[in-house]
Structure 1
């Protein structure tokens, strides 16, 4: 149980990748502070974690609310005697009909032998399409990181894992420039914070996810045509999406003491970006 005696805060823990990470860390021995904006999914993951014999503090918090984040972290540290692990997973992801249309146009552009042409994505974005990514995907990561570091630095121990995306390190998700820019910001923040706090034995890394079989992506696939699905899988050499559990196993490793990694952007993506 590599995380025995540790307390982990996992944001966006109610479903998908966040839920898988929270449950995997509980399996590995950690007590969990499960943060999510939705009460129903939060209640379910809290039950799962407690059924494993681990303590779980559910926190219904919007991570874009700085004051609420500070209260959550302080309460968690007081309840469990410290914060050892932070997983910044909460995020807004591209899932609207317009974003799905852009995604399909992008995949077709990369996989169909046609004359090269502009996709018209960037010029078609409204201001709100650009701005909506920043409060949760970037500001929320910073608020949670800063609050957790106030406890990790004095205890001279911590592990911070930021969930980024291949969209932030390549053009593999160019259908959503705002999302890509926000995830690139997370990658840059990871490196800068890692250098800042390494002397306090706090290691900071990011997982730049490829396609993950989470509920939003599964919902997209449920409505996609066979041609659209084939266009997607053609871009992934292993021919499938990653499972939340596969990503969670990497998060558990990065949360442990069994490595020498900090400031790294690690990208499990099935070969989509090599």
Structure 2
């Protein structure tokens, strides 16, 4: 029970990776504040956590709104008195039909012997394709971090875990330049905030995820052809997608007190980026 008597705020916690992290931290003794815009599935997660004997506060919150975020942390403070752990998991992901088409084009180009050429992805993007990533993926991380630090700095204790992506540290997601840039911003923010607050015994680190078997990827695989799936798996040395619980165990470790990581971006990606 390495997180006994700790309070953890987890954004994007209604499903997928956020849900797995929330449940894993509850199993290690933490009380949980769930944050998501999807209320019904979030309440289902809350029931799972309470069945483990932990307290849970589900809050509908759009992290792209600084007002929503401030209200969520105010509620957390009212119920639990403080916050020890923040997991910035909420994010937009490239799952539209246009992005899926570009993804398949990118995967095929990297795994098929064809003449080299421009994929024409960046030059064909509209303004919305670029701008839509920043409100949740970057601004939301900053808003939540700022509010969490109002608890963590006075108590001289805290753990902040930012969920970024191999897209932010490599060209693995060439099919979505805006998403990649937003995740690179999270990786950079991790380093700068990590240095800023380390002297207050606050550890800020990031997990740069590879492909994770979450609902968006499950939907992609359900609609992909055998050839398209083969192209994807060909790019992953382990030959499979990561499981949410594999990432959750790393998040639990970073939330605990048995490490010396500060401002680091740890990438669990099955060998896609080595």
The residue that corresponds to 1:248 in the other structure is: 248
Secondary structure at the aligned position of 2:34 is classed as strand
Secondary structure at the aligned position of 1:233 is classed as helix
Give runs of aligned pairs for residues 23-172 of structure 1, distance below 5 A.
23-172=23-172
Secondary structure at the aligned position of 2:269 is classed as coil
Q: Work out the CA distance in 1 between the residues paired with 2:174 and 2:52.
A: 40
Secondary structure at the aligned position of 1:82 is classed as coil
Q: Work out the CA distance in 2 between the residues paired with 1:250 and 1:190.
A: 16
Structure 1-normalised TM-score?
A: 0.99
Q: Work out the CA distance in 1 between the residues paired with 2:170 and 2:126.
A: 23
Q: Work out the CA distance in 1 between the residues paired with 2:253 and 2:136.
A: 25
Q: Work out the CA distance in 2 between the residues paired with 1:168 and 1:68.
A: 26
Q: Deviations over 1:64-116 (max 9, x none)?
A: 01011011112202211210000000000000000000000000010000100
Q: Deviations over 1:150-201 (max 9, x none)?
A: 1100000000000000000000111000000000000000000000000100
Q: Output the aligned Cα RMSD.
A: 0.5
The residue that corresponds to 1:260 in the other structure is: 260
Structure 2-normalised TM-score?
A: 0.99
Of 205-214 and 76-85, the range deviating more from structure 2: 76-85
Secondary structure at the aligned position of 2:9 is classed as strand
Residue 209 (structure 2) pairs with residue 209 (structure 1): yes
Corresponding pairs, count: 274
Q: Deviations over 1:200-259 (max 9, x none)?
A: 000000000000000000000000000100000000000000000000000000000010
Q: Work out the CA distance in 2 between the residues paired with 1:41 and 1:136.
A: 20
Q: Work out the CA distance in 2 between the residues paired with 1:70 and 1:202.
A: 20
The residue that corresponds to 1:195 in the other structure is: 195
Secondary structure at the aligned position of 1:139 is classed as helix
Query: Once the 2 structures are TM-superposed, how far is the Cα of residue 40 of structure 1 from its aligned partner?
Result: 1.2
Residue 161 (structure 2) pairs with residue 180 (structure 1): no
Structure 2: any 5+ residue segments left out of the alignment? Answer: none
Q: Work out the CA distance in 1 between the residues paired with 2:172 and 2:39.
A: 33
Which aligned runs of 4 or more in structure 1 are off by greater than 3 angstroms?
Answer: none
Secondary structure at the aligned position of 2:77 is classed as helix
Structure 1: any 5+ residue segments left out of the alignment? Answer: none
The residue that corresponds to 2:273 in the other structure is: 273
